[in-house]
Amino acid sequence: MRKVTNLIVGCGLSGVVLAERLASQKHEEVLIIDRRNHIGGNVYDYKDKETGITVHQYGPHVFHTNNKEVWDYLSNFTEWHRFMYRVKAVIDGIEVNIPFNLDSLHKVFPQSLANKLETKLLKKFGFNQKVPILQLRQSNDSDLEFLAQYIYEKVFLGYTIKQWGVKPEDLDASVSGRVPVYISRDDRYFQDRYQALPLNGYTAMIKNILNNPLIKVELNTDFASIRNNIEYDRLFFSGAIDEYFNYELGKLPYRSLDIMFKIHNCNYLQSGPQINYPENYDYTRSVEYKYYLDEKSDKTIVSYEYPYSYEEGKHERYYPIPDKANQDLYDRYVAKAKELKNVWFVGRLGDYKYYNMDQTVSRALELFKEI
């Protein structure tokens, strides 16, 4: 029987932050395993061989946070490339800012109508306010309801059906609420104080976080294949909580993605780093990675995301699906988890939460303070 002090399952952000804290602050040994053949979990990136451009294998990860502690912590392990993300969606064939803002309004409507809607929005909600689309739909004003219906249909409905397989109102309101209507001229995707990408990529940052002689990394190692042959003082599990319990209470659903990378023989293909397609095509969005780190190449590489429902053994898990039934099932797993003395669940899959990267890091830092 192998014995370790700390076993961490999953080499993504949650796992590596916990490993680093345990090694550097408690001076304890950590074994961190991952079933994949690389570190970093879904933040893993690499330089594409043909173009030399850094791409995110599991889709776009743009770091943003208001949490100074998280920002300062990660800054120990990377230099930053300051970068404010800008996203457009093609609606009615026109590229408009996402979040849909006052400029988007003026792009899609005739001036008189846009002016009238802008005045009503300002009066009802005020300037610089963010209004979730599901809330805007309940405006009790026929003009604002018309606007809400337009944005709902053109920006949210098609995209959400592609992305999640259901309508926005069939998911927890926080999902569509991530991208509210923004009564502003600010065309950035995020308004957080700190917005940046690791200058040398996420994988390099993760490597630095793991750079401690007390941390041992074992890749291509499935927890299931070692769990009966290993003893630990503590286990931190960032895999899927339902899988840990062998799906005893039933399977939690996840969404997955097929991401197709295509090299184009031109300098730039798109007007900006990310274009969403709520109405057209089978993919949700296309991402042109050379914009991210402002990398230079004669060619460009663009990814196209095709979402589908996760099937065990076939796909990678990308997103928990936040709705009432799934939350109830997850809560029942949490009750079982509470019976375990030395096991903690973390991360998007362990906590079954649609975390952003900064929330993942924050959760790991807070958990470390509690143990």
Tell me which residues touch ligand UDP (CB under 6 A): 89, 98, 155-156, 159-160, 163, 175-176, 178-179, 276, 278
* Alpha helical stretches, state H, the chain: 13-25, 68-75, 102-108, 111-125, 133-136, 142-151, 158-164, 173-177, 202-209, 223-226, 241-244, 324-338, 347-350, 357-370
Interacting residues of 247 by C-beta distance below 8 A, sequence separation 6+: none
Which lies closer to ligand UDP via its Cβ, residue 161 or residue 249? 161
Minimum CB separation from ligand UDP for residue 89, in Å? Answer: 4
Strands (DSSP E) along 212-358, which ranges?
A: 215-218, 230-237, 254-264, 274-276, 285-288, 300-309, 319-320, 343-345
* DSSP bridge pairs for 33: 9, 218
Which lies closer to ligand UDP via its Cβ, residue 167 or residue 336? 167
Which lies closer to ligand UDP via its Cβ, residue 221 or residue 270? 270
* Length of the chain as a residue count: 371
Q: Which amino acid is at 143?
A: D
Which lies closer to ligand UDP via its Cβ, residue 89 or residue 259? 89
**Residue 197 burial class via C-beta count within 10 angstroms: exposed 0-12, middle 13-18, buried 19 and up:** buried
Which lies closer to ligand UDP via its Cβ, residue 28 or residue 192? 192
**Spatial separation of the C-alpha atoms in residues 350 and 347, rounded to whole Å:** 5
Q: Nearest residue to ligand UDP, using CB?
A: 159
Minimum CB separation from ligand UDP for residue 357, in Å? Answer: 10
Which lies closer to ligand UDP via its Cβ, residue 9 or residue 155? 155
Minimum CB separation from ligand UDP for residue 356, in Å? Answer: 8
Instruction: Provide the phi-psi class of 15: left if phi over 0, else alpha when psi is between -120 and 50, else beta.
Output: alpha
**Spatial separation of the C-alpha atoms in residues 346 and 110, rounded to whole Å:** 49
**Spatial separation of the C-alpha atoms in residues 369 and 170, rounded to whole Å:** 36
Minimum CB separation from ligand UDP for residue 234, in Å? Answer: 30
Minimum CB separation from ligand UDP for residue 114, in Å? Answer: 20
**Residue 72 burial class via C-beta count within 10 angstroms: exposed 0-12, middle 13-18, buried 19 and up:** exposed
Minimum CB separation from ligand UDP for residue 193, in Å? Answer: 18
Minimum CB separation from ligand UDP for residue 175, in Å? Answer: 5
Cis peptide before 278 (omega within 30 of 0): no
Which lies closer to ligand UDP via its Cβ, residue 117 or residue 287? 287
Minimum CB separation from ligand UDP for residue 230, in Å? Answer: 34
Q: Are 55 and 261 in contact (CB under 8 A)?
A: yes
Which lies closer to ligand UDP via its Cβ, residue 217 or residue 273? 273
